[in-house]
Amino acid sequence: MRRRLRSPLPQRHGLDAARLRLPEVGAWATVLEHLVERLPRVDPARIEGMLREGRIVGVDGPVAVDAPYVPGSFVWFHRDLPEEVPVPFEVGVVHRDSDIVVVDKPHFLASIPRGRHVVETALVRLRRQLGIPELSPAHRLDRVTAGLLMFVVRPELRGRYQTLFRDRLVVKEYEAVAPVDPGLALPVVVRSRIVKERGVITAQEVPGVVNAVTRVELVASRGGLGRYRLVPETGRTHQLRVHMAGLGVPILGDDFYPVLREKALDDFSRPLQLLARVLEFVDPVSGVLRRFESGLGLGAWESPGEWGC
């Protein structure tokens, strides 16, 4: 296996530099010509400016603005960051050792950089907070879901921990607050087919082969609300939210299901009442059974008056 080239640029704001490999075939005379075509969302004047400032580098150093195109070569650069709304909640460390870090991610904080959320993500915050530049995610949580999230400390171990989640070898338990329907027989195992199309913000249940399975239990009820235990056997996008809405008891604070409602990125009120409560697995490195439990709670259940329930 060919070893990945190490970036000549250090991390910035906890982020790795972007790396581009120049195609073997092409009619570009210069690197600038190629980058202008390769990065259509970036103003050509901005690309030229980055070259003049020495912000785009190759294996031998900064790439000149008139540098000739070299097929198969690599360039690195840091992308301009989007303007982000600071998420005013801390990431709590639940466990840390030489192999993994397990944290309690707050509501509204994305797990990893993507789209409009880059610096304000759990991964970037933790790389800076813990001083672990090579920290990588073992799995992800939705931005609006709170609770346990696991990261891998050493790059050589990332695949082993990610495989646990891919192969469904991790027992995951969630807690949710939602209305109680006296006519709904619980516990129940929901089995359906969930599909999410690229570019569509919500997922849909459709006829076909089952690909999403969730066990739903009512743990306690009070004042028309229920505290639910959700145990997913699969990990489809928005699975728990789709299944709860499909049962007629949508999770409180859900702005996607059953009806999509627009919410401003700086509105941190009424978070989705869904919490990743438990992670349990046999450690692929030590062989020891590990179990982690979140220290967070759900406001609609613990402080219903403050939450408006």
CA distance readout (Å), 72 to 21, 24, 50, 75, 289: 6, 5, 21, 10, 46
Where would I find the beta strands (DSSP E) of 98-183? 100-105, 136-137, 146-152, 171-179
SS3 258: coil
CB atoms within 10 A of CB 103: 24
**Which ranges constitute the DSSP H helices of 134-293?**
158-166, 239-246
CB atoms within 10 A of CB 173: 20
CB atoms within 10 A of CB 133: 12
Is it true that the peptide bond before 68 is cis, omega within 30 degrees of 0? no
- Residue 73 CA to residue 218 CA, distance in Å, equals 58
| Tokens of residue 259, six digits | 């009806």
Long-range contacts for 250-255 (Cβ within 8 Å, ≥24 apart)? 250/178, 250/179, 251/176, 251/177, 251/178, 252/177, 252/178, 252/179, 252/225, 252/300, 252/307, 252/309, 253/144, 253/300, 255/144
Buried b (16+ CB within 10 A) or exposed e, 136-148: bbbbbbbbbbbbb
| Active site residue ranges | 142
Amino acid occupying residue 138: A
Contact between 306 and 299 under an 8 Å Cβ cutoff? The reply is yes
| Tokens of residue 247, six digits | 């049962």
